[in-house]
């Protein structure tokens, strides 16, 4: 950060390209385009794919609003498909029935840090000539069939929001692709659609990531492998400690890991459990209490009863404290408090 303050190139300084090179190498993609947030990453990906008014994008209702919000902002229509009850990721077996003549893309979310069924989703997309955007806001660093999240589809889009697995000290995000044309489009869209200075060849946004935030992520990348290892260990440890506690844990498929952006479990009587934990000094959160097709802004895109698994998950999910810096002693305290809260 001091280096950036010294050279003063706060916008598009040298740290931006340096970070993009390192992130592309990490994710195993040809291109990385840093952007101002995870939301902007999704929007720019959709714009680069030239989404037209009325085009449909298949996605999940059990996610943060940005997933569907960007589809609508880009002129598209989100088509909600229900989730698997055990992983909370999109249920691929339901996708093909939702593909129609206006379908342009599939946007799965790798929720809680576990990559969605990308191989099956890519196969469906290939059969129907669709693009795939992985909303990897919560899964940067996760592995899937020997590859990394963000490097699995047409576009991978991640967020560096402070609480994400790779967080900066404010807002930031990145797009990943192997496609030269799409990468160029995304780079132009990020700077108001400019192909060169003051030559606006397409519609764009103000979507650059600040040099200072790139410097933060560069520094944090140096211990990122350790952080991911630590998150995986703490996730395994939670599973062991919770084995005889009456909560249902998230299923993690054998061909991938989960980097636990949140350590989310399913509890009965959530409000009472959260209140008891709070009284014991343990913070919890709910990701997410209302599926998007029940939200006033998105309800007209899908009937409320069409995604029953998302509705059930939203009523029961609760996230426990998780970070690479969580100590084993604090984790023990969390589980002891949860036991008390559940009366077990
Ligand atoms: C699944 C998902 N998509 C998109 C976003 C948006 O990322 P950002 O907050 O960086 O705009 C988030 C962040 O909360 C997210 O969890």
Beta bridge partners of 177: 31
Cβ of residue 39 lying under 6 Å from some atom of ligand 1 = yes
Task: For ligand 1, say whether the CB of 209 is within 6 Å of any of its atoms.
Answer: no
- What pLDDT does 303 receive? 85
Mean pLDDT score, 127-140 = 98
Average confidence (pLDDT) over 7-31: 98
Residues 245-253 have a mean pLDDT of: 97
CB 133 within 8 A of CB 42: yes
Answer yes or no: is the C-beta of 139 below 6 A from any ligand 1 atom. Answer: no
Q: Where are the beta strands (DSSP E) in 186-274?
A: 194-196, 199-200, 248-249, 263-266
**Nearest in space to 178 (alpha carbons), one of 342, 343, 33:** 33
> Which ligand 1 atom is at minimum distance from the Cα of 109?
1
d(CA 340, ligand 1 centre) in Å: 33
What does DSSP assign to residue 336? Answer: H
Nearest CA to ligand 1 atom 12: 137
Which residue out of 45, 60, 64 has the highest number of ligand 1 atoms within 8 Å of its CB and is therefore the one to mutate? 64
Task: Tell me, using a 6 A CB cutoff, whether residue 63 lines ligand 1.
Answer: yes
Name the token pair of 151. Answer: 């490097």
Distance in angstroms (rounded) separating the CA atoms of residues 200 and 75: 20
Pairing state between β 248-249 and 263-266? antiparallel
Q: Which of 66, 150, 310 to mutate for ligand 1's pocket (most ligand atoms within 8 Å of CB)?
A: 66
Mutate which of 65, 73, 161 for ligand 1 pocket (most atoms within 8 A of beta carbon): 161
Rg (CA), the chain: 20
pLDDT > 70: percent of the chain: 100
Q: What is the pLDDT of residue 323?
A: 96
* Local structure of residue 110 (DSSP, 8 states): -
Give the end-to-end CA distance of the chain in Å, rounded to a whole number.
48
Q: What is the DSSP letter of 301?
A: G
**Model confidence at 69, in pLDDT bands (50, 70, 90)?**
very high
- On the question of pLDDT at 142 being above 90, the answer is yes
DSSP letter at 254 equals T
- Max Cα separation, the chain? 66
Nearest atom, ligand 1, residue 172 CA: 10
If you average pLDDT over residues 182-199, what whole number do you get? 97
| pLDDT tens figures, 144-157 | 999 999 999 999 99
DSSP state for residue 321 in the 8-state scheme: P
The pLDDT confidence band at residue 166, using thresholds 50, 70 and 90, is very high
The DSSP output letter for 344 is -
The dihedrals phi and psi of 333, each to the nearest 5 degrees, come to -60, -40
Report the alpha-carbon angle 296-113-42, nearest 5.
Answer: 50
Report d(CA 117, CA 92) in Å as an integer: 7
- pLDDT tens figures, 4-15: 999 999 999 999
The finding on whether 159 has its CB within 6 A of some atom of ligand 1 is yes
pTM of the model: 0.98
> What are the b/e assignments for 154-181, b being 16+ CB within 10 Å?
bbbbbbbbeebbbbbeebbbbbbbebee
Q: Is the pLDDT of residue 344 over 70?
A: no
pLDDT at 133: 98
Mean pLDDT, rounded, of the chain: 97
Cβ neighbours of 285 (radius 10 Å): 15
Residues 298 and 290 sit within 8 Å (Cβ to Cβ): no
CA atoms within 13 A on the CB side of 278: 9
Q: From the alpha carbon of 42, which atom of ligand 1 is closest?
A: 4
- Ligand 1 center to 168 CA (angstroms): 13
Q: Is the pLDDT of residue 326 over 70?
A: yes
Q: Of the given ranges (43-47, 176-180, 299-303, 305-309), which has the lowest mean pLDDT?
A: 299-303
Tokens of 282: 């343990």
Q: What is the pLDDT of residue 302?
A: 87
Measured over the CA atoms of residue 103, residue 78, residue 319 and residue 213, the dihedral's sign is: positive
**pLDDT 10s digits, 70-90:** 999 999 999 999 999 999 999
Backbone angles phi, psi at 72, to 5 degrees: -70, -40
Mean pLDDT of 197-208: 97
């Amino acid at each position: 950060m001091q280096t950036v303050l010294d050279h003063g190139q706060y916008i598009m300084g040298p740290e931006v390209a340096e970070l993009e090179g390192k992130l592309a190498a990490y994710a195993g993609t040809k291109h990385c385009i840093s952007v101002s947030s995870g939301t902007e990453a999704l929007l720019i990906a959709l714009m680069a794919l030239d989404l037209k008014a009325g085009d449909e994008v298949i996605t999940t209702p059990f996610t943060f609003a940005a997933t569907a919000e960007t589809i609508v902002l880009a002129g598209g229509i989100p088509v909600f498909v229900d989730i698997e009850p055990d992983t909370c990721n999109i249920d691929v077996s339901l996708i093909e029935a939702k593909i129609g003549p206006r379908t342009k893309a599939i946007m799965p979310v790798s929720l809680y840090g576990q990559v969605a069924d990308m191989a099956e989703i890519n196969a469906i997309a290939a059969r129907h000539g669709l693009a795939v955007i992985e909303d990897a806001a919560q899964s940067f660093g996760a592995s899937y069939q020997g590859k990394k999240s963000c490097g699995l589809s047409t576009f991978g889009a991640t967020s560096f929001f402070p609480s994400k697995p790779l967080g900066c000290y404010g807002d930031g995000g990145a797009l990943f692709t192997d496609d030269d044309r799409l990468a160029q489009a995304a780079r132009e869209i990020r700077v108001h659609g400019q192909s060169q200075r003051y030559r606006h060849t397409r519609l764009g946004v103000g979507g650059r990531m600040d040099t200072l935030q790139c410097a933060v992520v560069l520094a944090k990348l140096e211990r990122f492998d350790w952080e991911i290892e630590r998150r995986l260990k703490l996730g395994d440890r939670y599973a062991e400690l919770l084995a005889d506690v009456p909560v249902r844990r998230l299923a993690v498929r054998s061909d991938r890991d989960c980097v636990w952006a949140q350590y989310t479990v399913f509890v009965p009587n959530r409000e009472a459990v959260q209140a008891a934990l709070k009284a014991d000094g343990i913070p919890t959160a709910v990701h997410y209490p209302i599926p998007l097709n029940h939200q006033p802004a998105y309800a007209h895109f899908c009937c409320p009863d069409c995604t029953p698994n998302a509705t059930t998950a939203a009523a029961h999910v609760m996230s426990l404290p998780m970070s690479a810096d969580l100590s084993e002693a604090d984790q023990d305290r969390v589980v002891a408090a949860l036991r008390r809260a559940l009366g077990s």
